[in-house]
Amino acid sequence: MSRTLTRRSVVLTALTLPALAACSGGIDASGSSSSDAGGSGAASDAFPVTVEHLYGTTEIAAEPTRIATVSWVNADTLLALDIVPAGMALVEWGGNDQQSTDWVDAKLEELGAGWDSDKAPTTYSEADGVNTDEIAALAPDLIVAAYSGLTEEEYTTLSKIAPTVGPLAANYTASWEDVLAAVGTATGRSDAASELSEKLSADLAAVGEENPEVAESTFIAASLSPTEHTISIYSGDDTRPRFFTALGMTQAEVVTENTKDESTFYFDWSAERGDELVSDVLYTWAAAGDTVETFQDDPLFAQIPAVASGALVLTADDHQTLSISAASVLSLPWALENVVPSVIEAAQTAQA
């Protein structure tokens, strides 16, 4: 994705990018067991296994050893299970110098598969859509697209290459828990996946349990554009509201009342009606250099109660935005360290 995307574009397209204990040992990019990862390096489940998704059921006959992913977020889940994918998509919006993320880089190093090693995964661009040719060239025995916007036609094409785990929910709204469970099943590591899920869920919930101001606060997750004076509200099954709910916060009634159904993951809101967006805390992603004052100095946004009170959570860094907008079992522990402190601060401001 190009960095020239407008803020409005990111509302629709960032989903397509956008203290973790080690589990079982992994599989490196060549399919060999990764002794560097520690643990047994073997699947604990018996094969064949089946995984259900939007386009049906996929059977995996034997433990996969060469796994390719669609949408880079799926690689996060494999890595969290100590499996190095044979191939993964580049992070083309908000990525670091490696067109990756800091949490992926750290995990690859832990598994002895850093980018400067011969065990590093092959990477490919998805700027123009699913890279079928690059995936086919890897000769994978499993393709994972559990968190993606894969169409049924694309799924059919990929299934001719290898068994493919299609999207678990439409429009990049599959939860990290469901993706982790599906990938755990597909790779024979369901027990490890369950342990990871329980630990991370507990770590997220502990934020509200240990910080009463957070648990007592309502929130709105939004995208405010100071340049275009637009407001988009994230709702339903979008990853951002789920993140704040997992911390123990409650979504503001104005969002719940205006969400048509669970399939609505965002809706537009007139900036002139900003005073109706009543919540204790408001989240928005922001451009580098934007501050709370940037929004307070805007006459339209200043009407929003949480903006006026200074109870804003801003992710003005691409990595922070990606860590919760395309949340995974690997990115959320990073968000706990790098995003949650600002959530706590905003909640304390709101409750003061």
> Does residue 20 lie in a domain region?
no
* Mean pLDDT across 287-301: 91
* Mean pLDDT across 269-282: 97
Chain-wide mean pLDDT for the chain?
88
pLDDT tens digits, residue range 12-29?
333 333 322 223 334 444
Task: Select from 137, 172, 203 the last residue of a domain.
Answer: 203
Whether residue 219 is found in the same domain as residue 196: no
Whether residue 167 is found in the same domain as residue 251: no
Residue with tokens 């060999």: 32
Whether residue 247 is found in the same domain as residue 292: yes
Task: Select from 145, 180, 203 the last residue of a domain.
Answer: 203
> Does residue 11 lie in a domain region?
no
| Nearest-angstrom CA–CA distance, 181 and 95 | 26
Q: Please answer whether residues 184 and 64 qualify as being in contact, where contact means their C-beta atoms are separated by less than 8 angstroms.
A: no
Whether residue 146 is found in the same domain as residue 238: no
Q: What is the pLDDT of residue 42?
A: 64
Which residues does residue 204 pair with via DSSP β-bridges, in sequence order? none
* Mean pLDDT across 344-348: 97
Phi, psi of 282 (to 5 degrees): -130, 135
For 22, the 3-state DSSP assignment is coil
Total tally of structural domains belonging to the chain: 2
Which residues does residue 50 pair with via DSSP β-bridges, in sequence order? 59
Whether residue 62 is found in the same domain as residue 145: yes
Whether residue 79 is found in the same domain as residue 161: yes
> Does residue 1 lie in a domain region?
no
| Residue 250 belongs to domain with CATH number | 3.40.50.1980
Which residues does residue 57 pair with via DSSP β-bridges, in sequence order? 52
> Does residue 8 lie in a domain region?
no
Whether residue 198 is found in the same domain as residue 225: no
> Does residue 190 lie in a domain region?
yes
* Mean pLDDT across 34-63: 78
Q: With a cut of 50, say whether residue 129 has pLDDT above it.
A: yes
Whether residue 176 is found in the same domain as residue 217: no
Percent of the chain with pLDDT over 70: 88
Whether residue 56 is found in the same domain as residue 190: yes
Q: What is the pLDDT of residue 20?
A: 27
* Mean pLDDT across 53-76: 96
The set of residues, in sequence order, having a beta carbon less than 8 Å from that of 26 and lying 6+ positions away, is 33, 34, 37, 41, 79, 81, 82, 83, 84, 111
Q: What is the pLDDT of residue 289?
A: 84
Using 50, 70 and 90 to split pLDDT, how confident is the model at 192?
A: very high
Whether residue 105 is found in the same domain as residue 124: yes
> Does residue 6 lie in a domain region?
no
> Does residue 279 lie in a domain region?
yes
Whether residue 179 is found in the same domain as residue 231: no
Whether residue 56 is found in the same domain as residue 172: yes
Task: Select from 145, 170, 203 the last residue of a domain.
Answer: 203
> Does residue 131 lie in a domain region?
yes
Q: Which domain holds residue 221?
A: 211-351
Using 50, 70 and 90 to split pLDDT, how confident is the model at 215?
A: very high
